[in-house]
């Protein structure tokens, strides 16, 4: 990982009703777009068809792709997200900025250094025969040590590796963020933002865009403090968050609101 490069990861879900060729072509479209913007593709993970945690566009499954790449600036993120948002073949997407630990984790996972389980070797059992003969007999016949005889037609013990479960992320309870109700919480989750940490990394402008796309009913909400509240929730700073929320009015800082008026 170069100090001059920034690392990102974009995961997107392709509509499974498409043909195999159309699905591969859809994924390649965004790999080519990233390359066209001067990005270095580190790895493309064709995860494949997976069960969704909840229905999206009346689909219960989707074809997952994950692309890790390097770029000198983050300007390309807005461009590729706009393309993904407009593409009817894409059900959901999520872009994440990777720090050095995230890059190292992905590299170790690709190299098989994560998730390996060493198989323990079964020790050979040795038992000593119970010699109940007299002392005089023992003088002429020393005690025997024999290995435990093998069973007839032994069954070879094989370790069966279970298929990896589908990794699904249960959305955090965004209603704990002042200003977010059940419907807005659902809108945010549908946009691919499922955890407090992800919400904390999402700009207020991006959240405003999600609300605006949902209609005028939601466009009036002010999400300015939501990322900061989410960051405190992600860090477990519940007492500090509660204290701050007592000073907010519907999730809006009162002082700033008064100044604007």
Confidence tier at 119 by pLDDT (50, 70, 90): low
Q: Which of 73, 96, 113 is the last residue of a domain?
A: 113
Q: Which burial class, exposed, middle or buried, applies to 127 when counting CB atoms under 10 A from its CB (0-12, 13-18, 19+)?
A: exposed
Per-residue pLDDT tens digits for 57-89: 899 999 999 999 999 988 999 999 999 999 999
- In this model, does residue 93 exceed pLDDT 90? yes
78's enclosing H/E stretch is helix 75-86
Q: Which of 113, 128, 160 is the last residue of a domain?
A: 113
Lowest mean pLDDT among 30-39, 132-141, 246-255: 132-141
CA dihedral 209, 211, 214, 215 (to 10 degrees): -100
Is the domain of 1 the same as that of 108?
Answer: yes
Reduce the DSSP state of residue 19 to 3 states and report it.
Answer: coil
Is the domain of 2 the same as that of 109?
Answer: yes
**Domain presence at residue 158:** no
Is the domain of 177 the same as that of 97?
Answer: no
What CA–CA distance (Å, rounded) separates 232 from 125?
56
The range of the structural domain enclosing residue 249 comes to 169-261
Describe the chain by its helix, strand, coil percentages, rounded to 5. Answer: 40, 20, 40
Is the domain of 106 the same as that of 11?
Answer: yes
**Domain presence at residue 123:** no
Q: Which of 79, 96, 113 is the last residue of a domain?
A: 113
Mean pLDDT over residues 169-197, rounded? 87
pTM of the model: 0.46
- In this model, does residue 182 exceed pLDDT 70? yes
Number of domains in the chain: 2
């Amino acid at each position: 990982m170069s100090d001059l490069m920034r690392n990102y990861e974009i995961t997107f879900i392709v509509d499974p009703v498409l043909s195999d060729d159309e699905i591969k072509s859809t994924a390649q479209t965004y790999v080519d777009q990233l390359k066209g913007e001067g990005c270095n593709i580190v790895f493309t993970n064709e995860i494949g068809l997976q069960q969704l945690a909840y229905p999206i566009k009346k689909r219960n499954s989707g074809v997952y792709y994950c692309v890790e790449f390097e770029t000198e600036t983050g300007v390309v993120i807005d461009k590729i997200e706009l393309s993904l948002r407009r593409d009817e073949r894409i059900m959901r997407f999520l872009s994440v900025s990777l720090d050095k630990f995230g890059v190292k984790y992905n590299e170790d996972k690709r190299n098989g250094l994560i998730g390996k389980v060493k198989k323990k070797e079964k020790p050979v059992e040795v038992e000593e025969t119970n010699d109940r003969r007299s002392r005089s007999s023992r003088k002429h016949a020393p005690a025997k040590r024999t290995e435990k005889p093998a069973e007839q037609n032994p069954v070879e013990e094989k370790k069966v590796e279970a298929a990896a479960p589908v990794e699904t992320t249960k959305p955090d309870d965004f209603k704990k963020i002042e200003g977010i109700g059940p419907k807005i919480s659902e809108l945010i989750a549908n946009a691919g933002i499922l955890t407090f940490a992800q919400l904390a990394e999402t700009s207020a402008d991006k959240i405003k865009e999600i609300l605006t796309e949902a209609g005028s009913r939601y466009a009036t909400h002010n999400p300015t403090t939501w990322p900061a509240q989410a960051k405190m929730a992600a860090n477990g700073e519940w007492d500090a968050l509660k204290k701050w929320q007592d000073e907010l009015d519907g999730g809006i800082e009162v002082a700033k609101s008064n100044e604007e008026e």
